[in-house]
Structure 1
Amino acid sequence: MNVQMLTELAVKGHITELQLLSLEGGFYLARVRLDSVEKTLLGDDQQPLRIRSTTHLRDLLHGLPAFPCVLVQHSVHDEMCGVREGPIGGLRIPFSLNSVL
């Protein structure tokens, strides 16, 4: 999914959630969840779009209608130590595409 397709789906109200996944190396990838499928946001080169920050994402998607967004940060420490039982989910922090004042 590219930015143009994301824009079209957002205008139609079809975006269920955008997940901004924090990865090693100081960059993020965006996963867009629709009703029954998740898609990665791609750049012009058809490769996953590397996003530098939430501000970069806000600039990229400026002017789109509001939809739920969440920053997802996985804890490598929990995975390495294995202290918790059951599945280990990422920390999910809601945020808005509206500019922060």
Structure 2
Amino acid sequence: MNLQQLAELAGKGEIRELELLSLEGGFYIARVRLDDVEMTLLDDSGKPMRIGSTTHLRDVLQRVPPFPCVLVQHCVHDEMCGTREGPIGALRIPFSLAATL
């Protein structure tokens, strides 16, 4: 999905959620969830768009109608050390596309 497609779907109210996934290396990628499918936000060359921060995402999407967003961060420490029993879920922090003051 590219930015134009994202804007069109957001205008129709079809975006259920955008997950900003934290990846090793200090950058993020965006996964867009619709009712029945998830897609990665792509750049102009068709590769996953590398996003530097929530502020960078806000800048990129400043002209797109708002929709729910969540920052997703996996806890590598728990996976490495095995301190918990059972499945280890990702940390999910809701955030807004509205500019912060």
- TM-score band w.r.t. shorter chain: over 0.9
Q: How many residues align?
A: 101
Identity among equivalent pairs (%): 73
Q: How far has the Cα of 1:66 moved from its partner?
A: 1.7
Structure 1: where are the runs of 5+ without partners?
Answer: none
Runs of 4+ in 1 over 4 A off after TM superposition: none
1:46 aligns with 2:43: no
Q: State the distance in 2 between where 1:66 and 1:95 align.
A: 11
3-state SS of the aligned residue for 1:89? coil
Which has the higher mean CA deviation after the structures are superposed, 55-64 or 83-92? 83-92
Calculate the TM-score normalised by the size of structure 1: 0.96
- How is 1:12-91 mapped onto 2 (pairs within 5 angstroms)? 12-91=12-91
Q: State the distance in 1 between where 2:63 and 2:45 align.
A: 24
3-state SS of the aligned residue for 1:92? strand
CA RMSD of aligned residues (A): 0.8
| 1:2-48 CA distance string (max 9 Å, x none) | 01100000000000000000111110000000001110000011100
Q: State the distance in 1 between where 2:61 and 2:27 align.
A: 17
